[in-house]
Amino acid sequence: MKLSPLLALPLSLLPFILATPAPSGTYTEHLALRPLPSGALYAGFTFTATTPLPAYRAQHFRLFPRSLAQILQHAHTEELHLRFALGRWDDESWGPRPRGGNREGGAGVEIWAWVEGGGDGVVEERWSELVNSLSGLFCASLNFIDGTRTTRPVLTFEPEGTHHRRHRQSESEGEGGLVLMHGTLPHEVVCTENLTPFLKLLPCKGNAGISTLLDGHRLFDANWQTLSIDVRPICTPAPDGSGEEEDCEMEIQQTVDLVLDIERSTRPREDPIPRPRPIEEIECDTSKAYHGQDTCYPRPRAGEMGWSLAAIFGAAVRGNCHLSGGGDGDTRDVSLHLASPRPVQVLLNNENENENAATNPPSPPPAPLNANSSSSSPSTLQQHLYTLPSPPGQTFDLRLPPTTSPPTPENENAHPPLYATRHITGSGQEHGAMHATLRNPHPHAQRIVYFEALPWYLRGFMHTLVLSYTEGNDHEKEEGREKEGGRVLPVEKMFYLPAIDRQRGSQLELQFVVPARGAVALTYQFDKAVLRYTEYPPDANRGFDVAGAVIRVLTPSSAFSSSFAPQPHSSSTTNSGSNNSGSNNNLTTTPQAQHDYYLRTPPLLLPLPTPDFSMPYNVIILTSTVIALGFGSLFNLIVRRFVLVEEVPVSPLLGSLRGLGGRVRGRFGGVVGARFGGKGSGGGGGEGEDGGGDGRGGDDGGDGVVREAVGVGGGSMAAGRGPELDGDGDGDG
Amino acid sequence: MDALRQVYHDHPRTVLFSSAAALRILLAVTFPGLSDLLTGRVEISTPVNSFKRLQEGLFLYERGLDPYDGGIFHQAPLLLPLFSLLPSSLTWVGRFASILLYTGLDLLTADCLYQIAESGAAHTSRLFSSPRKDRTWKPISVAAVYLFNPFTLLTCLGRPTTVFTTFFTVLSVSHACQAQAVTAAFALAIASYTSLHPVLLLPPVGMLCYDRLCVQIAGDSDGLASDGHPPDKALDSKIATDQRKQPTSLSFSIQIVATFATATAFLLGLSRLLLPSWQFLPSVYMTPLTMPDLTPNPGLWWYFFIEMFDAFREFFLGVFWLHMLSYSVPFCLRFQKQPLAAVVLMMGVVAVFEPYANVGDAGAWLSCLALLSHVFEVSSAHRYTFPALATLLYAALLGPAFHHLWIYAGSGNANFFYAITLVWSLALLILLTDAVYSVLRDEWEAERPEGKGREVRQI
């Protein structure tokens, strides 16, 4: 009984083994390094694994992570994009985003997927299965992506994979049509517990190759970082041009993009706290007028900081992860982009073989490179390519000594296609307004899609939506003119789905053109809802996170394709199996989609009015009292009738009680009256005075006691005061 | 000056109405930002009547979307085509046009109140005639109280859609006073269609209409001018003799309920023609029932249901609604002799206890209280009217201040505003109780003239 499946397994696999060629899937990994201005370093890790689609369907995995694949198959998900992000990409100083923003997520967790639909409610159910399973897999709160956080964008996202015959039916959501679902969790804090499952999906599990650099302590210390997972099917058309698609593969691409502060990362581990350096080590700027014997103005750093992989990531790269078999010599694992020529040392196995990359290349020659890079990047940019050493256990390190010459100034092309900021304006916790500014630094107009998924407790008023356009690129000018109110810009397309309380968030998609060298301000007003007291998080007065806007720049000209966007090794490698994003784009259903530039604004913090959380019982009691008062007095008037006071009939029970009371009063009243009455008549005023005197004496005595008690209780501290107070009390007495 | 006085003497209504309209327009013109400011105030605009939300619904409606497929707009569908005729209220012209519309509504309401007061239904009915009926205010004063009530004035500028409800309610009462059952039921159906709670007024309005009908028939058969002031004795004798001529109360109530139901069904069907789906029904009528939107208002519900434990929410919603329902029939039974008093007092119950309470409803009720002006003497002599009015003033002044402290300054918390809404509701309740007392006392003194001015007990 147990044997039969065991026997059946190889038999069932046989056809696939026979059908597919020997290497069932490929795996490549790549690390791109690029120093950025102001002492930052960009590091982009790319891990790409593929598996043939038949093997994927038959659950036959070698390089593709089984845990993720089974979840995707169970939830009927054809294409998945998952992002864990932290921090903010600094457009102004770092330039365009890596990979054209295509592997970037809004802060927190962002997920979107194309799920196979099949009638009413099926998509929602599958989506819920997907996010709940992924929540378990990645230790993230993805299960909180419910109906209120799920949207279905229309214009913003295009599938990256090949979904022949199906994905355009998503609007009809008919049988088998693919439906795009999108959800964000802006409040989620991405941390080590998300990285560990991420690394486990890799074939080398972070034990060999460039993934050995991914240490949680360094990764989450970054100024900006994104972990992304993208799963998509890819089909290459048959070579004979018959139109039939074959050679379909599932590809999983995992990327880690981060920007590290070199100074903070290279801080010694034994002394991680930033301290002021001793004055002798600081170089003073003697040109300042206030420089003197006792004052020192530190001179700004002239050149770029020196760094090495080991210093920044805590350890050098250990071993390699060349699993694809064949074509090993062609893979380039590490690439380094430098804006200006700079000596680079490669350290293998801790032997200090100082090799300048330009003169004495390491094992694979890093030469071919300027030819590649010149097409996509400025001519001054230098590119070095390295392959990790083959023997396992050998370490690989790059070291760049500090330079003294100032870094080359930014060139014009470093402008990203669009600058975007988004704020909440207005004061108070009742009304507010959203204000997004999109600035086009280029001399040509750009068509963009602006997408926002808003929580239901932010009630936007779309009739107040205004797109106003101001010319000029200067910030000051722009702000000055906004106050005057610029020209109103038309919206080309608008998709808006209003929110329903506690059921659905609102979704806004706008398509419009940002004119050349101009800024567009998008504003609309909203109301802040008051929630039930159980719906507030424990830190209610912090406010609620609102996911950032996703902006898709639709038609960028080729001049702005980011220097990061095409994978550096995609053009140099000849391995047909390593399908990188660059080479596959032409095969997707919408070829231009991949080239679109995406950017996301940082999330916003929305303060909502809060009730008093300690009051539920008090409120219930007080409100009920008022209502009961009204109810009682109204019905009291309604059900009873008026009579004159004299006519009020005496009820028999009341009468007997009164009689009893009268008798008691008569008996006791006589006795008491005799005693007190006699004394009262005899004593008169004297007694009253006595009483008063007694009272005062008693008061004073009491006071004295209390004060003494205080003196004693205070111990030595109050000892000095005690007698004095006592004396007061005595004097009064 | 004399000429002015002469004009006022000759055409008091014209002078009054034109001055009220001029005041509203003047306010809107001199302070252009005032109306939008008032639209944003929680005391005036609630989720079910806010003018801003109406604009949002209009925006969706004009673009062919279902405005009820969302959580913002909960107002009656037929308002949409009406307001889409006006220019956009974001412009100066649109704002002015909306102010003009609401001013017109206010004037019409005041005119209805004038007619109600003129009909004398307040102090004279089929079974009863008040001994204090000579103390009734002049109809022009009642209309003036409505038009120059500061709450009504602010509401007119804030433009909530409950002004429509008020107008149709008062219109229905005015038709009922003229014994026009069909139009009264139709107007009440429109009022209930725009917001749910005027349904509660159906029994008292029906009773009022029946009462006036009987009076009219009696008056006609007696050969008297049916001006609403038939001599008491003649009336009494006629009632005794002409019982047969009157319509039976059962058939009359069936008639009025049927008219009401037909009119409501007609309005809902008309709305369905305008909209793509029936989704407006839960959106418009379930919202006041379940109170999903807990925006603060001067009523008793919002903070109660913010702080309510989830397990008991449905229970207390049921209790609160049953509580409101529980007044309608007892009032009808007790105020059988004075049906207009039943209507006015029921309006008061609604204004105090409705889920999305607002100042406009309270102000309209306070103005309608002037219809019962003949009994003010009783309440001011025996009850707490002055403290209640002082408290009302106190709450009206401190309410916005406390709201500011909570929402804007951050130096107070929600309890500040909650406390002031409690005080506001308490003051309204005391006024309501006083009104009930005086009406009942007046009725009792008609039977027992010797009890006038003496101390009484209730047993």
pLDDT in tens, B259-313: 999 999 999 999 999 898 899 999 999 999 999 999 999 999 999 999 999 999 9
Q: What is the pLDDT of residue B450?
A: 81
Q: Which two tokens stand for residue A725?
A: 């107070």
The verdict on a CB contact (< 8 Å) between A619 and B304 is: yes
Domain count, chain B: 1
Q: What is the pLDDT of residue B297?
A: 93
Question: What CA–CA distance (Å, rounded) separates A314 from A624?
Answer: 64
Match 């109306």 to its residue by tokens.
B35
Identify the residue among B306, B309, B336 best suited for mutation to test binding to A, counting A beta carbons within 10 A and taking the highest: B306
Question: What CA–CA distance (Å, rounded) separates A721 from B335?
Answer: 74
Q: What percent of chain A has pLDDT over 70?
A: 70
Q: Is the pLDDT of residue B448 over 50?
A: yes
Task: Please count the other Cβ atoms lying within 10 Å of the Cβ belonging to residue A685.
Answer: 7
Residue B343's domain spans which residues? 2-451
Q: Is A298 or A518 the better-scoring residue by pLDDT?
A: A518
CB A199 within 8 A of CB A206: yes
Q: Is A370 or B365 the better-scoring residue by pLDDT?
A: B365
Question: What CA–CA distance (Å, rounded) separates B80 from B67?
Answer: 10
Q: Which of A71-85, A161-175, A376-390, A634-648 has the highest mean pLDDT?
A: A71-85
The verdict on a CB contact (< 8 Å) between B303 and A623 is: yes
Q: Is A293 or B41 the better-scoring residue by pLDDT?
A: B41
User: Could you please report the per-residue DSSP string of A230-248?
Assistant: EEEEEEEEPTT--S-EEEE
State the average pLDDT over residues A248-273: 86
ipTM for the complex shown: 0.92
The verdict on a CB contact (< 8 Å) between A463 and B56 is: yes
SS3 label, residue A616? helix
With CA atoms as reference, the chain A residue closest to B55 would be A463
Domain presence at residue B286: yes
State the average pLDDT over residues B73-92: 90
Angle at A278 between CA A274 and CA A281, to 5 degrees: 105
User: B295 — contact with chain A (CB < 8 Å)?
Assistant: yes
Q: How far is B352 from chain A (nearest CA, A)?
A: 10
Q: Is the pLDDT of residue A527 over 60?
A: yes
Q: How far is B295 from chain A (nearest CA, A)?
A: 6
Q: Which two tokens stand for residue B1?
A: 């000056």
Q: Is the pLDDT of residue A352 over 70?
A: no
Q: Is the pLDDT of residue A548 over 80?
A: yes
Beta strands in B111-256 (DSSP E): none
With CA atoms as reference, the chain B residue closest to A607 would be B407
Q: What is the pLDDT of residue A731?
A: 36
Q: Which two tokens stand for residue A133?
A: 């399973």
Question: What CA–CA distance (Å, rounded) separates A238 from A56?
Answer: 20
When pLDDT is cut at 50, 70 and 90, the band that residue A558 belongs to is: very low
CB A100 within 8 A of CB A117: no
Q: What is the pLDDT of residue B46?
A: 93
Question: What CA–CA distance (Å, rounded) separates B204 from B173?
Answer: 10
What mean pLDDT value characterizes chain B?
89
What are the tens digits of pLDDT across the range A24-40?
688 888 999 988 887 88
Task: Please count the other Cβ atoms lying within 10 Å of the Cβ belonging to residue B349.
Answer: 26
Identify the residue among A532, A536, A618, A654 best suited for mutation to test binding to B, counting B beta carbons within 10 A and taking the highest: A532
Among A506, A527, A182, which residue's Cα sits nearest to residue B65? A506
Q: Compare CB distances from A627 to B69, B300, B457 and report the shortest one's residue.
A: B300
Q: What is the pLDDT of residue A724?
A: 39
Q: How far is A653 from chain B (nearest CA, A)?
A: 16
Q: What is the pLDDT of residue B223?
A: 53
Q: Which two tokens stand for residue A627?
A: 């209502």
Domain presence at residue B195: yes
Helix (H) or strand (E) holding A249: strand A245-261
User: B275 — contact with chain A (CB < 8 Å)?
Assistant: no
Q: What is the pLDDT of residue A175?
A: 52
Q: How far is B376 from chain A (nearest CA, A)?
A: 17
Question: What CA–CA distance (Å, rounded) separates A513 from A450?
Answer: 11
State the average pLDDT over residues A232-238: 80
Q: What DSSP designation does A31 have?
A: E
Q: Compare CB distances from B458 to A427, A611, A640 and report the shortest one's residue.
A: A640
Question: What CA–CA distance (Å, rounded) separates B270 from A543?
Answer: 43
Beta bridge partners of A500: A504
Question: What CA–CA distance (Å, rounded) separates A411 from A651?
Answer: 103
CB B143 within 8 A of CB B394: no
Q: What is the pLDDT of residue A406?
A: 65
User: B436 — contact with chain A (CB < 8 Å)?
Assistant: yes
Of A47-56, A361-370, A472-481, B121-130, which gets the smallest average pLDDT?
Answer: A361-370
Domain presence at residue B387: yes
When pLDDT is cut at 50, 70 and 90, the band that residue B31 belongs to is: very high
Question: What CA–CA distance (Å, rounded) separates A344 from A358?
Answer: 8
Q: What is the pLDDT of residue B102?
A: 95
Of A657-671, B12-26, B48-62, which gets the smallest average pLDDT?
Answer: A657-671
B 349-368: CB under 8 A from A? 349, 352-353
Q: What DSSP designation does A378 have?
A: -
What are the tens digits of pLDDT across the range A704-726?
333 333 333 333 333 333 333 33
What are the tens digits of pLDDT across the range B134-155?
888 999 999 999 999 999 999 9
Beta-carbon contacts of residue B26 (< 8 Å; ≥ 6 apart): none
What's at B345, amino acid-wise?
A: L
CB A552 within 8 A of CB A31: no
Q: Which two tokens stand for residue B381?
A: 């002599």
Domain presence at residue B459: no
CB A179 within 8 A of CB A114: yes
Identify the residue among B48, B73, B307 best suited for mutation to test binding to A, counting A beta carbons within 10 A and taking the highest: B307
Q: Which domains does chain A have, with CATH numbers?
A: 25-273+281-403+562-592 (no CATH), 419-546 (2.60.40)
Of A424-438, B108-122, B214-228, B413-427, which gets the smallest average pLDDT?
Answer: B214-228
The verdict on a CB contact (< 8 Å) between B307 and A619 is: yes
When pLDDT is cut at 50, 70 and 90, the band that residue A495 belongs to is: very high
Q: What is the pLDDT of residue A568?
A: 32
Q: What is the pLDDT of residue B318?
A: 95
User: Could you please report the per-residue DSSP string of A35-93?
Assistant: EETTTEEEEEEEEEEEEEHHHHHTT--SSS-HHHHHHHHHTTEEEEEEEEEEE---HHH
Question: What CA–CA distance (Å, rounded) separates A218 from A226?
Answer: 13
Task: Please count the other Cβ atoms lying within 10 Å of the Cβ belonging to residue B121.
Answer: 27
CB B289 within 8 A of CB B196: yes
CB A393 within 8 A of CB A319: yes
SS3 label, residue A698? helix
Q: Is A663 or B157 the better-scoring residue by pLDDT?
A: B157
Domain presence at residue B225: yes
Q: Is the pLDDT of residue A378 over 70?
A: no
Q: Which two tokens stand for residue B96?
A: 């002015």
Q: How many helices (H) and strands (E) does chain A have?
A: 17, 27
Beta-carbon contacts of residue A124 (< 8 Å; ≥ 6 apart): A147, A150
Beta bridge partners of A336: A33, A384
Q: What is the pLDDT of residue A571?
A: 30
Give the C-alpha distances (Å, rounded to integers) separating A632 from A270, A635, A638, B440.
75, 5, 10, 16
Residue A146: is it exposed, middle or buried by C-beta count within 10 angstroms (0-12/13-18/19+)? middle
Domain presence at residue B458: no
Pairing of strands A27-36, A334-338: parallel
Q: What is the pLDDT of residue B306?
A: 94
CB B231 within 8 A of CB B243: no
The verdict on a CB contact (< 8 Å) between B425 and A626 is: yes
The verdict on a CB contact (< 8 Å) between B433 and A633 is: yes
Q: Is A518 or A117 the better-scoring residue by pLDDT?
A: A518
Q: Which two tokens stand for residue B352?
A: 């105090």
With left for phi above 0 and alpha for psi between -120 and 50, is residue A505 left, alpha or beta?
Answer: beta
The verdict on a CB contact (< 8 Å) between B433 and A637 is: yes
Q: Which two tokens stand for residue A424?
A: 């909440």
Q: What DSSP designation does A209 have?
A: B
Residues listed for chain B: 459
User: CA end-to-end span of chain A, whole Å?
Assistant: 105
- Using a CB-CB cut-off of 8 Å, the residues of chain A touching B310 are 532, 534
Q: Is the pLDDT of residue B390 over 50?
A: yes
Beta-carbon contacts of residue A670 (< 8 Å; ≥ 6 apart): none
Question: What CA–CA distance (Å, rounded) separates B287 from A547?
Answer: 28
Q: Is the pLDDT of residue A260 over 70?
A: yes
Among A217, A216, A184, which residue's Cα sits nearest to residue A199? A216
State the average pLDDT over residues B47-65: 92
Question: What CA–CA distance (Å, rounded) separates A56 from A73?
Answer: 9
When pLDDT is cut at 50, 70 and 90, the band that residue A560 belongs to is: very low
Beta bridge partners of A180: A114
Helix (H) or strand (E) holding A654: helix A652-683
Q: Is the pLDDT of residue B178 over 80?
A: yes
When pLDDT is cut at 50, 70 and 90, the band that residue A598 belongs to is: very high
What are the tens digits of pLDDT across the range A157-197?
988 887 764 444 444 444 568 899 999 999 999 989 999 99
Q: What is the pLDDT of residue B387?
A: 92
| Chain A with chain B: Cβ pairs closer than 8 A | 168
Q: What percent of chain A has pLDDT over 90?
A: 34
State the average pLDDT over residues A261-268: 83
Q: Compare CB distances from A428 to B52, B300, B407 and report the shortest one's residue.
A: B407
SS3 label, residue B53? helix
The verdict on a CB contact (< 8 Å) between B69 and A498 is: yes
| Helix spans in B326-413 (H) | 328-334, 339-353, 359-368, 376-382, 385-404
B 373-392: CB under 8 A from A? none
Helix (H) or strand (E) holding A513: strand A506-514
User: B324 — contact with chain A (CB < 8 Å)?
Assistant: no
Residue A93: is it exposed, middle or buried by C-beta count within 10 angstroms (0-12/13-18/19+)? exposed
State the average pLDDT over residues B441-458: 82
SS3 label, residue A464? strand
Domain presence at residue B340: yes
Among A568, A612, A684, which residue's Cα sits nearest to residue A99? A568
SS3 label, residue A648? coil
When pLDDT is cut at 50, 70 and 90, the band that residue A241 belongs to is: low
State the average pLDDT over residues B356-381: 91
Of A190-194, A291-295, A555-559, B140-144, which gets the smallest average pLDDT?
Answer: A555-559
Question: What CA–CA distance (Å, rounded) separates A304 from B417?
Answer: 59
User: B273 — contact with chain A (CB < 8 Å)?
Assistant: no
Domain presence at residue B370: yes
CB A718 within 8 A of CB A711: yes
Question: What CA–CA distance (Å, rounded) separates A603 from A187?
Answer: 9
Q: Is the pLDDT of residue B229 over 60?
A: no
Of A543-547, A559-563, B160-164, which gets the smallest average pLDDT?
Answer: A559-563
